[in-house]
Structure 1
């Protein structure tokens, strides 16, 4: 008898509500570095120093740049679909009087998402870009640490973005929602 490959077995498709119940009853804890993507509980890759440093650099700079205009969330959940609750490295979201104490931000709360990529570039460019586009996230940046570039996705339609632009570390950019905020990438891309 030949054993069936585990990869050929059907997988459980988790909803955000089921995922939250796993957290509430302690099956998933803060020690489990996971996120829910397309109904799958996916282990997050541990952060190496360049990833952590760039996440901090962008987060700290954005807190200053967007003060009074938007809330900056670093590596915190977004409920963006019935079966997806990713934790992007940086989320620029609408100001909320309750500071999102009673819920995670939803797609309509998001101005911009950023993923810092070294070992996760393929997943960030494909799986996450598709999830974010389907949710209608208006702007998504991937910071490619190995190439010292920022890939800018704008104008979601269906499961993809209509605009993709690659910026070098010497370039500057202004987010769509905040054209008055000019970001010099060389000052924050480490």
Structure 2
């Protein structure tokens, strides 16, 4: 006989109520993925340095054309609210004070990984494809490569490109902005 465990799935609304009531605090590093609360890995120095470098670079290159949201939630649907390392968002007068960004607000999501490459690739990237996020970068700080995912169709990214040192990339929404991979590492 196979024992089947019943898991309770949370909605984004329930997740927010847990925070409002004090069950979850701002110090709890959790994100909601497909209705389950997932502990997020501690942020190491290489990871933090890469995120800091990206924030600086993207603000210099794109300025007021975007709202740059580092390590903030995006609400993908009723049961998923991940916290990508960087979200490039469409500008809004309220700077997303009144509601977390949703898929239609997103130009690009970036996940920076040192210990979570497999999880990001196998769990978060498909989640973003299902939400029709137009472009996602997975930055592997250990291998110093960037995986660029574009053109989601029926929950799968149709285009994936792996870029290394001395190669350049642009952002789908801003094709005139070129970034050398070396600038990120």
* TM-score, with length taken from structure 1: 0.94
TM-superposed deviation, 1:73:
0.5
| Cα separation, 1, equivalents of 2:40 and 2:168 | 30
1:184 Cα deviation from its structure 2 partner: 1.2
1:27 aligns to 2:14 (yes or no):
no
Q: What are structure 1's unaligned runs of at least 5 residues?
A: none
Q: Tell whether the 8 Å contact from 1:80 to 1:135 is kept in structure 2 after alignment.
A: yes
The answer (yes or no) to whether the contact 1:78–1:87 under 8 Å persists in 2 is yes
Aligned equivalents of 2:184, 2:51: Cα separation in 1: 9
d(CA) in 2 for partners of 1:39, 1:84:
6
CA distance in 2, matches of 1:47, 1:66: 26
Tell me whether 1:165 sits opposite 2:173 in the alignment. no
Q: Does residue 94 in structure 1 map to residue 90 in structure 2?
A: yes
1:146-185 map, 5 Å: 146-185=142-181
Scaled by the length of structure 2, what TM-score is found?
A: 0.96
Segments of 4+ moved more than 3 angstroms: none
Deviation, structure 1 residue 60:
1.3
In the aligned structure 1, how far is the partner of 2:145 from the partner of 2:161? 10
Secondary structure of the corresponding residue to residue 147 of structure 2: strand
Q: Indicate conservation of the 8 Å contact 1:150/1:169, yes or no.
A: no
Aligned CA-pair RMSD = 1.2
Q: Matched residues in 1 for 2:66 and 2:151: separation?
A: 20
Residue in structure 2 matched with residue 57 of structure 1 by the alignment: 53
Alignment of 1:1-190 (within 5 A): 8-189=4-185
Distance 2:125 2:73 in 1: 16
Q: Quote how far apart the aligned CAs of 1:188 are.
A: 2.1
Per-residue deviation at 1:159?
2.1
Unaligned runs of 5+ residues in structure 2 are none
| In 2, Cα distance between equivalents of 1:15 and 1:60 | 34
**1:35-89 deviation per Cα after TM superposition (whole angstroms, max 9, x unaligned):** 0001000000001110010011111111111112111110000011110000000
